[in-house]
Chains A and B, each alone.
Chain A
Amino acid sequence: MALSHLDRLEAESLHILREVAAQFRNPVLLYSIGKDSTVLLHLLKKAFYPARPPIPLLHIDSTFEFRQTYAFRNEVPERLDVELRVHINEDGLKAGISPFIHGAAVHTDVMRTQGLRQALSRGGYDCAIGGARRDEEKSRAKERLFSFRDANQRWDPKQQRPEFWDLYNGRIHKGESVRVFPLSNWTELDVWLYILREGIELPPLYFADVRPVVERDGTLIMVDDERLPLRTGERPAEKKVRFRTLGCYPLTGGIESEADSVEAIVEELLLATTSERQGRVIDHDPNSSMELKKLEGYF
C-alpha cells in the first residue's frame, strides 16, 4: 500500500493544521465559503477527528456575498460542529462603501482587507489559516506555508523567513502573526478531484444553473439582488452559468457552462483553456496587483 497523490496532499495539509493547533495560542481559519475554504473545513474536521476542531472559522463578510453563499455559511459549519465567527467592517458599512459607487478596488480594500485586519487585531488572533494556493497567482507562488506578518499585518516579500522541510517556525512576538496556507501545494484540479473523491458538499453556485446575468466588460455578472444597478439599456438575461470562484457577487464573473455536477466540472476543467481567476474583476484592476493587496494584508 502506498499513498496516492491526493493522500499525500491531504497528509501535508493535516500536518500543517495540527502544527497550527500546537504552535499558536489563538488561531482562526479564514472561511470565505468558496470551494478552497470548504475543502479546508473538511481537512480541519479530519485533522482533529474524532474531536471537535480546536480552531474556529472566521468569515470576513463584505455584505455583498451571493445569497446562496450566506445560506451555505449559515448552515454547513453548524452541521459539521465547527464554530463560526463573522466579522463585518462596521466603519465601511456606516460609510456606505459599495462596489458600485466606490469601485471594486476600494470596496475590496475596505470590506475585505481592512475588515480582515480589523477582525484579526480585535480578535487577538496570532494565526490566520487561508485557502490560497501557489498555483493561483504569481506572487502567491512565492509565499511560504507559514507566512510571517509584522505587527502592522504586512507581508514583506523580500524578507520572508526561510522555511525548511516540514519544520514550520511559528514563533512570533506579541502583536505579530502568521498566515498559514495548508493548500499551497494543491492545484485547482487537485482541489476538484479531492472534492470528487471525498464527496464534499459545495455551495450550489459552483454548479451550472439558469441565473439572471448581465454582461459587463466581457464578464457575466449575476443579478443576485436588487442592489445591482442596471446600466442604461441593460437587461438581465437568463443564462446557464456557474462560478469558478466565489467573491462579492457584483465582482465575480460567471462562465456559461452546462456542468451541473462535480464530475461535469472536472470534465470541463480538463478541457479548459483559461485559468480560474479570470473571472475575478479585482485581478484585472491594473493599479492593484495581488502582490500590492497582499502587502496591505489581503489574503
Chain B
Amino acid sequence: MDGTAPFRRFDGDDDSASRGERPRHDARRALAHFDALPLLRFITCGSVDDGKSTLIGRLLHDSGSLADDQLAALATDSARVGTQGGELDFALLVDGLDAEREQGITIDVAYRYFSSARRRFIVADCPGHEQYTRNMATGASTADVAVVLVDARKGLLSQTRRHSTIVRLLGLKRVVLAVNKMDLIDWDEARFRGIVADYRALANELGIDEVHAIPLSALRGDNVLGTSLNTPWFEGRSLLATLEALPALTPSTAAGFRLPVQWVNRPHQDFRGVVGTVASGRVRVGDVVQVLPAGTRATVARVIGPGRDLSEAIAGQPVTLVFNEDVDVSRGDVIAALDAAPALATRLRADLVWLDIAPLAVGQRYALRLGPKQVHASVVSVEHVRDVHTGGTHGSAQLALNAIGRVELALEEAVPLTRFDDERALGAFILIDRATNATAGAGTVVEAIAHGAERAYSQAFSVGPVDRAKAKGQQARCIWLTGLSGAGKSTLADALERRLHAEGRHTMLLDGDNVRSGISSDLGFAPDDRREHVRRLGEVARLMVDAGLIVIVSAISPYRADRDAVRARFAPGEFIEVFVDASPETCAARDPKGLYAKARAGGLSNAIGIGGDYEAPLKPEVHAVSDDSGVDDLARQVLATLGR
C-alpha cells in the first residue's frame, strides 16, 4: 500500500468545494504554496504500547492525508490482523514490515509525510522496545522536535526516560509530551498534571528546555487536530497546532562561514572545485577563506550552486567552490572564514549512545566519522555511564549495548571540530567498528581539546585580523626580504621601516640574525635548521600580521620551497616577497659579517648564504637590484607595491 497523500488540505483556501463544485487548482499557485510551507521533522517515541503508531495513523487520517485505496487497504488489514475489534487499526499504517505486522510490534523507524494548511511534516515513528534503541536513535537524529508519548495509566516508564535521554543527547531540546489514553482515566486532570510534573523534573535533569504537554486520546482523536470537549480544563493547543507553531532546527546563516569538504571535483586539468554543503554562515565570491587543518588561505573565485554560478551561498546550500589559488584541499578538510575557524582537536570529550553488541572499551580503536572527515580514534577513558532509570551516573571501563555515557577519545590527527551545541555539522560523529563496518555508536562533542599552543590561533575569537588592522588604520602585510648575505637586506629593511614609521604606520622588523638569538637559539646552520628557522620566522610574522602590523622580515631564507610554504600561510596579497639582488662580487665586496672572507679562508662548511645553493625567487613581487640603485630608490620601489 502506498503512502502518497491526496493533499486535500490544500483546497482549504478554495471554497468551490463547499459550494458543491469540483474544486479547481492552479499548478503554479500550488507550487508557490507548497514550496513556501516550512518543514518540521518530528519523531514519536516512548514505551511500547503507549500508542505511537496509533497517534501517527490518527494524524494522517484526520488530516486527510490518506488516499482512498490506502483507506480501503487499511480497512481490510484491520479486519484481518487488527487489534481494534474490527475498527480501523491505525498502527497498521506504519508497521510496514511483515515481521512487525506478525508480531504486532514496531521494529524499525518508519517515515511518513503529510501536510497541514500551514506546514509540511515528516514524522518518524520510533520503536519502543529497548532492543531497537538503535532504530529509535536513527529517527531522532534527523528530527527537529520529539513527541514523547506516555500512557496516562502508567506514567513515566524507563523507556520514557531512555528515549528522552537519547533525544537530548542527539540535540533535541524541545519535547511535546503527549499524555495518551486520557479517555481510559476519565480525563483526570490531576493525574495529567502529576505526569507533567514528573516529566518536567526529568526534562530539567536532562537539559530539555521546552516541554509542551497535551492530554490526548490518539485512538479517539481528542486534542490531536482540534481541541477536545473532554478537556475543558486544558488551555493549551492541540497536537497539530503545537507542531505547526514549533520552529525547525535550521543551520545558522548569521554565524561565521564553515564548509566541510565532501569531495574535490577535478574532471580535468582546468577545473578544480571544492564540493560540500555550507554548514553555517555565508560565502561570497571574493571572500578570503582558510583551509583547515593546514591553515592555508585562499580567495573564492566562484561559488557554484545547484547547476549554476551564484554570487553568494548560505548555510544549507550545496555548493562547489573554486579558488584563485592552487591550494591543497581534500575530503574532510574544513573551509572557514578567517574569523570562524573551528578548533583543531586531537582529543575530544563526547556523549555517546552505544549501539553495537560488542561493547565500547577503553583502548579500543574505531573509525570516527565527523562530517566527511574519517579518522581513527581510540578510547582514552569512559568518564561515566548514565543510569537511565535513576538519572545518576557511575564509573565503568566500557559502554555496553544501548548504554549512554561520556567518553574521551584520542584522534590520530588534528581534526577541525566544535562542540555539538555550537555547530551540529562539526560536532556530531559516528563510530564505526573497523572489522565489521557496523555503525557502532553516535556521539556529540561536549569539549574539543586542541593539540598544542601553536594552533591556538585557530580558536575562533570575536576580534579578527582584519579588525585589528582596521583599528590601526592600515592593511597588515608581511614584506619578506630574501637574498644573499651582503645583498643589502638589512639596509633596505631599515629604510623601509623608517619610512613607514614616519608615515605613522604600525610596524615590526624581524631580522633573521636577531631572531636567531632568541626563538631560534636552538638552531644551527645546517639545511634542516635553516628550514626550521625560516618556518619560525614565517609563523612569528604571521602572528604579527594577524595583530595588524606591517612586518618586515629580513632573512637569507635560501630555499624556494620554504619561502613558498611561508607565503601559503598568508592571505593572497598579504605576503610581499622582495628579492634583494646583488651580484656575488658586490656581496663579497660588502661582506658585512665577514662571511666571504671566512669562506675564502675555508672556515665555513655551509656556504649557502654566500652563494652555495641559494634559490632565487622565480616570481617575487619586487626584484630590488642593489648593485647600482640607492637604498631610497629601492625602498620607494617596495612601498609602491603596498598599494596604500
Interface of B is mostly: mixed
- The digit string for B303-317, where 1 denotes a CB below 8 A from any CB of A, is 010111000001011
Kindly state whether residue A242 has any CB partner on chain B within 8 Å.
no
Kindly state whether residue B11 has any CB partner on chain A within 8 Å.
yes
Does A157 lie within 8 Å of B97, measured CB to CB?
Answer: yes
Kindly state whether residue A196 has any CB partner on chain B within 8 Å.
yes
How many of chain B's residues have a CB under 8 angstroms from any CB in A?
Answer: 86
Does B428 lie within 8 Å of A165, measured CB to CB?
Answer: yes
Does B30 lie within 8 Å of A135, measured CB to CB?
Answer: no
Kindly state whether residue B7 has any CB partner on chain A within 8 Å.
yes
Kindly state whether residue A5 has any CB partner on chain B within 8 Å.
yes
**In the bound complex, CA of A273 to CA of B372 (Å):** 42
Residue from the list A8, A50, A163 in contact with B316, Cβ < 8 A? A8
Does A141 lie within 8 Å of B94, measured CB to CB?
Answer: yes
Kindly state whether residue A122 has any CB partner on chain B within 8 Å.
no
Q: Report A290 CB to chain B, min CB distance, Å.
A: 9
Chain B residues whose C-beta falls within 8 Å of the C-beta of A48 in the assembled complex: 265, 267
Kindly state whether residue B629 has any CB partner on chain A within 8 Å.
no
Chain B residues whose C-beta falls within 8 Å of the C-beta of A94 in the assembled complex: none
Residue from the list A6, A11, A138, A267 in contact with B318, Cβ < 8 A? A11
Chain A residues whose C-beta falls within 8 Å of the C-beta of B262 in the assembled complex: 15, 18-19, 22
Closest chain B residue to A274, Cβ basis:
B69
Kindly state whether residue B96 has any CB partner on chain A within 8 Å.
yes
Residue from the list B3, B30, B69, B320 in contact with A266, Cβ < 8 A? B30
Does B39 lie within 8 Å of A137, measured CB to CB?
Answer: no
The B1-56 residues at the A interface (CB cut-off 8 A) are 1-7, 10-11, 22-28, 30-31, 34-39
Does A137 lie within 8 Å of B31, measured CB to CB?
Answer: no
Does B30 lie within 8 Å of A11, measured CB to CB?
Answer: no
Chain B residues whose C-beta falls within 8 Å of the C-beta of A141 in the assembled complex: 3, 94, 96, 110-112
Kindly state whether residue B234 has any CB partner on chain A within 8 Å.
no
Residue from the list B98, B275, B428 in contact with A167, Cβ < 8 A? B428
Does B67 lie within 8 Å of A171, measured CB to CB?
Answer: no
- The digit string for B417-448, where 1 denotes a CB below 8 A from any CB of A, is 00000001000111010000111001000000
Chain A residues whose C-beta falls within 8 Å of the C-beta of B31 in the assembled complex: 193, 196-197, 266
The B125-177 residues at the A interface (CB cut-off 8 A) are 134-135, 137-138, 141-142, 170
The stretch among A66-74, A182-190, A247-255 that forms the contact with chain B is A182-190
Kindly state whether residue B497 has any CB partner on chain A within 8 Å.
no
Does A157 lie within 8 Å of B107, measured CB to CB?
Answer: yes
The stretch among A98-106, A206-214, A233-241, A275-283 that forms the contact with chain B is A275-283
Kindly state whether residue B321 has any CB partner on chain A within 8 Å.
no
Does A167 lie within 8 Å of B308, measured CB to CB?
Answer: no
Closest chain B residue to A5, Cβ basis:
B35
Does A167 lie within 8 Å of B107, measured CB to CB?
Answer: no
Chain A residues whose C-beta falls within 8 Å of the C-beta of B141 in the assembled complex: 163-165
**In the bound complex, CA of A210 to CA of B5 (Å):** 28
Does B97 lie within 8 Å of A291, measured CB to CB?
Answer: yes
Chain A residues whose C-beta falls within 8 Å of the C-beta of B437 in the assembled complex: 169, 171-173
- Given known A138-B1, A165-B142, A165-B424, contact A157–B99 (CB-CB < 8 A): yes
- Given known A3-B316, A185-B111, contact A50–B271 (CB-CB < 8 A): yes
**In the bound complex, CA of A52 to CA of B268 (Å):** 10
Kindly state whether residue B263 has any CB partner on chain A within 8 Å.
yes
Closest chain A residue to B429, Cβ basis:
A167
Residue from the list A14, A136, A262, A274 in contact with B306, Cβ < 8 A? A14
User: Closest 10 CB pairs between A and B?
Assistant: A138-B96, A275-B2, A51-B267, A263-B27, A266-B27, A162-B134, A171-B437, A14-B318, A46-B307, A275-B67
Supplied contacts A164-B170, A273-B6, 17 more A-B pairs, CB within 8 Å: A3-B314, A3-B317, A15-B262, A49-B304, A49-B308, A138-B1, A142-B110, A158-B108, A162-B134, A169-B369, A188-B4, A197-B31, A267-B24, A270-B30, A274-B6, A275-B69, A278-B2
17 sample A-B contacts, Cβ–Cβ < 8 Å, listed by A number:
A2-B250, A6-B35, A7-B317, A46-B306, A48-B265, A135-B2, A141-B96, A141-B111, A144-B138, A158-B108, A163-B138, A164-B442, A171-B437, A185-B113, A193-B35, A197-B35, A270-B6
Residues of A within 8 A of B (CB): 1-8, 10-11, 14-15, 18-19, 21-22, 45-52, 54, 134-142, 144, 157-158, 160-167, 169, 171-173, 184-185, 187-190, 193, 196-197, 262-264, 266-267, 269-278, 289, 291-292
Residues of B within 8 A of A (CB): 1-7, 10-11, 22-28, 30-31, 34-39, 67-70, 93-99, 107-113, 120, 122, 134-135, 137-138, 141-142, 170, 250, 262-263, 265, 267, 271, 273, 275-277, 304, 306-308, 314, 316-318, 320, 331, 355, 367, 369-372, 424, 428-430, 432, 437-439, 442
